[in-house]
Amino acid sequence: QPRVFSGIQPSGGLTLGNYLGALKRFADMQDEGNFETIYCMVDLHAITVWQDPETLKRNTRELCAGFIASGVDPEKSILFNQSQVPEHAQLAWVFNTVARMGWLNRMTQFKDKAGKNRENSSVGLFAYPALMAADILIYHATHVPVGEDQKQHVELTRDIAAKFNHDYGVDFFPITEPVIEGAATRVMSLRDGSKKMSKSDPSDMSRINLTDDADAIASKLRKARTDPDALPSEIEGLSERPEARNLINIYAAFADMTPEQVLEEVGGKQFSEFKPMLADLAVSKLSPISSEMSRLMQDQSEIDKILRRGAERAREITAPILAKTYDIVGLVA
């Protein structure tokens, strides 16, 4: 059976980009029933940049609540926290010896995150993609749903799997497919259509947080930057209009439609008419999620129980794959 793996960092609040680009699709793939689905809070990735310890614990539990409130069912999927399954870090070490410096040097996320401060970045931030490859390959996952920004990392995962198989003369790790599908694989900032929506943007008006209330969601969408023209009826009409395109994509993703279908319905309308439609749709989909998140957050011991159970189930898969990897590499058991 094909197996899905994906992860999210518990490094602060969840945005609409995380929801439409990842969480909603995780729940959809789980419910389609064609895949075994495994989803992870990647706390070991989060600490590659500084995290306050108490805040990290809180964010990890809140992220778990976010997964469940978005429709990931811990009975149907394996839902767990990365550091509770030690085989991730163990396989990552082996992959640190497989990945080449030159490959990691080309990673755009590292360049963006390290910025001008490369010399002072953590070694973990540089080696981040080898840990991500281990996350995926310790399950022999075949499909990885992610947003557009993670494509390069999944491609590196394929390179690591191929080099491992080649160097050791085995056919052990699968060559994983990134699954970058749907209308919202790259949700853009509400203030600037050329920038990705991100939790690290200094302007809170640039993003919708999963914890925003209905008023905040409506006001952010009403104030979203747009151009003065009416919406086109054909998709080509959006090619030079990144802000309009972003709002249409968001609408399409919420409504499970294609952007073309949305334009058939709203082509010709002004933003003054379209934005309230979008706000209503967004509020109707997001409000139940944020209230479910706060409800779940009231019982921390229940969340911790779910995470422990998820880690136990994960280890049934990871322990034998790590043992086999060690044997292939020549590490004496």
Binding-site residues from annotation for L-tryptophan: 135
How far, in Å, are 10, 81, 105, 111, 126 from residue 119 at the CA level?
25, 30, 13, 12, 11
Mark the segment that binds ligand TYM (CB under 6 A) among 51-59, 165-173, 184-192, 286-294. 184-192
Is 113 tagged catalytic? yes
Find the binder of ligand TYM among 3, 4, 7, 290 (CB under 6 A): 7
Which residues fall in the annotated binding site? 9-11, 17-18, 135, 147-149, 187, 196-200
Q: Does 43 bind ligand TYM (CB under 6 A)?
A: no
Q: Does 147 bind ligand TYM (CB under 6 A)?
A: yes
Is 196 tagged catalytic? yes
Q: From the candidates 113, 151, 163, 285, give the one annotated as an active-site residue.
A: 113
Least Cβ distance, residue 153 to ligand TYM (angstroms): 6
List the structure tokens of 218: 């409506």
Find the binder of ligand TYM among 196, 251, 307, 314 (CB under 6 A): 196
Q: From the candidates 57, 163, 199, 285, give the one annotated as an active-site residue.
A: 199
| Gap between the Cα atoms of 126 and 224, Å rounded | 35
Question: For residues 34 and 200, which CB has a smaller minimum distance to ligand TYM in the complex?
Answer: 200
Q: Does 310 bind ligand TYM (CB under 6 A)?
A: no
Beta carbons of 71 and 292 less than 8 angstroms apart: no
Beta carbons of 147 and 21 less than 8 angstroms apart: yes
Beta carbons of 277 and 221 less than 8 angstroms apart: no
Q: How many residues bind ligand TYM (CB under 6 A)?
A: 26
Q: List binders of ligand TYM among 153-182 (CB under 6 A).
A: 153
| Gap between the Cα atoms of 60 and 288, Å rounded | 20
Q: Does 143 bind ligand TYM (CB under 6 A)?
A: no
CB under 8 A, 24+ apart: contacts of 213-216: 213/287, 213/290, 214/283, 214/287
Q: Does 17 bind ligand TYM (CB under 6 A)?
A: yes
Q: Please, what is the Cα angle at 9 between 254 and 81, to 5 degrees?
A: 110
- Site residues, ligand TYM (CB under 6 A): 5-9, 17-18, 21-22, 42, 45, 132, 135-136, 144, 146-147, 149-150, 153, 184-187, 196-197
Catalytic residues: 113, 196, 199
